[in-house]
Structure 1
């Protein structure tokens, strides 16, 4: 019921935005996922009122967001399933109370001037591409990586997913990063983060909450990450967690009479 209510609320708000956009036909150079990212974008896309309504459902609390960090590999089947079926849907519904960090490295091993990945060279390239995407377009990196990981071919989908969510970023910027010194530096940082986990990781996906790992938290994350995030967050619970409906003062833009 909680998940159904949240999706209903989100879709209702987005539909309101879309109806407004369809009637006014404004000039807007941003994809829908970014319409409410800033006041300037909302004004350009003429969706200020809808964004205010969307923001009114956010928790009004000074409690910091729950930090959820996923240590994973780009081609690991279990990692892909967790990211696409648990982590991304939960973040979509609870992004106001949780912050996601992605560390693509997993069970790889650093060697002299190279990295050996569990699922071969393609996984190393996937890890590198996703690290460069996080570095270059942090505000939509999760959406791009979800797009890649939910595709049948992670590597082939990368360029199209980047174009979909960050059309202003040239693919050459990402590809040159992945094959150059910047990418190697980013991968080394991921290796260090993974190597110094406490306790040491024994498998991937490996998930920490506010930098901590517990076996019971992992069990909860694998079965229902949504419920676990709601229970671990110490601030005021959003409507998605409580199931309490919040009535909004909303208006609609109807089609012109023919």
Structure 2
């Protein structure tokens, strides 16, 4: 069971014990359930410190390093968008305790000026702006970044979705900070760094999405990732497999309404 789902169950159970049975208390905070245990400050604000401690106690031991998955992609590439929303984000949601994801928006872009952009992108100037926008969001929002990027890539209009997705998943980060990054030196520095990372790939990338596992690329792993990334991550993890990988039942205290 994913973290947010487990936390919701624990909150319902603890709510049943405290309430009179007519309603469930809801934390008065601006963060979605998936973010409640991201930091002590958020847990305190949302009044879920005890529940977060219980959830953390069930997490897989970090003695074995997580599977490192790095995605080199473009913000408006249809194949990249499908991989993020249909494979990468759902897999990470279930396996984030054994999986670390790094997003590198750049792909097949070139550091050649075009129009109002210092870069040339496969899907035009809008994609160059989208790449830089997502690089800024990743830099500014930390743990919330993947939720925001997935929200954007799942939307009909990636760029227009950026601001509402940011407000939904990282309300403490103002849009003005993203806009400042996007239209200032920081955005160009971030994309230049992504360009350098992409050029340093060995073997050199020939398409996107381009996925590496623990820093290495193989055609076999790419084929397996495109068909079932979840299965591949479970197989690559060297530690004790979590229940999600093995299909083992997770028994929770039962509660009824």
| TM-score, structure 2 as length reference | 0.89
Q: Secondary structure at the match of 1:71?
A: strand
Q: Following TM superposition, by how much is the alpha carbon of 1:63 offset from its aligned partner in structure 2, in angstroms?
A: 0.7
Give the 5 Å matches for 1:16-95.
16-17=10-11, 20=14, 23-95=24-96
* Structure 1: gaps spanning 5 or more residues: 1-5
Q: Deviations along 1:207-251, whole A, 9 cap, x unmatched? A: 001110011000110000000000001111111001112323x37
SS in 2 for 1:69: strand
Q: Supply the distance in 2 between the matched residues of 1:207 and 1:115 (Cα, whole angstroms).
A: 23
CA 1:32 to 1:18, structure 2 compared with 1: closer, same or farther past 3 Å? farther
Matched, 1:210 2:204: no
Secondary structure of 2:104 counterpart:
strand
232 and 25 in structure 1: CA distance in 2 versus 1, 3 angstrom threshold: closer
By how many angstroms is 1:45 displaced?
A: 2.2
State the alpha-carbon separation in 2 of the partners of residues 20 and 76 from structure 1: 44
Partners of 1:231 and 1:74 in 2: how far apart?
29
Classify the secondary structure of the residue corresponding to 1:111: coil
8 Å contact 1:57–1:238 — kept in the other structure?
no
Structure 1 equivalent of residue 179 of structure 2: 175
Tell me the residue number matched to 1:3. Answer: none
Indicate the structure whose relative CO is greater, using CA pairs within 8 Å and at least 6 residues apart. 1
Which whole-Å CA distance do the structure 2 matches of 1:134 and 1:101 have between them? 9
1:134 corresponds to: 138
CA contact (8 A) 1:140 1:165 kept: yes
Q: CA deviation at 1:55?
A: 2.5
**1:127-152 per-position Cα deviation (integer Å, ceiling 9, x unaligned):** 00000001111110000000000000
**Could you tell which deviates more after superposition, 166-175 or 107-116?**
107-116
Cα 1:41/1:86, change in 2 over 3 Å = same
Q: CA deviation at 1:28?
A: 3.0
* Structure 1 residues 236 and 107: alpha-carbon distance in aligned structure 2, compared to 1, 3 A threshold: same
2:15 is the alignment partner of 1:14? no
Moved more, 41-50 or 128-137: 41-50
Residue 14 of structure 1, CA deviation: 1.8
Q: 1:246 aligns with which of 242, 246, 250?
A: 250
**Where does 1:117-132 land on structure 2 (aligned, <5 Å)?**
117-132=121-136
* CA distance, structure 1, for counterparts of residue 89 and residue 223 of structure 2: 18
Secondary structure of the residue aligned to 1:109 is: coil
Identify unmatched segments of 5+ residues in structure 2. 16-22
Following TM superposition, by how much is the alpha carbon of 1:169 offset from its aligned partner in structure 2, in angstroms?
Answer: 1.0
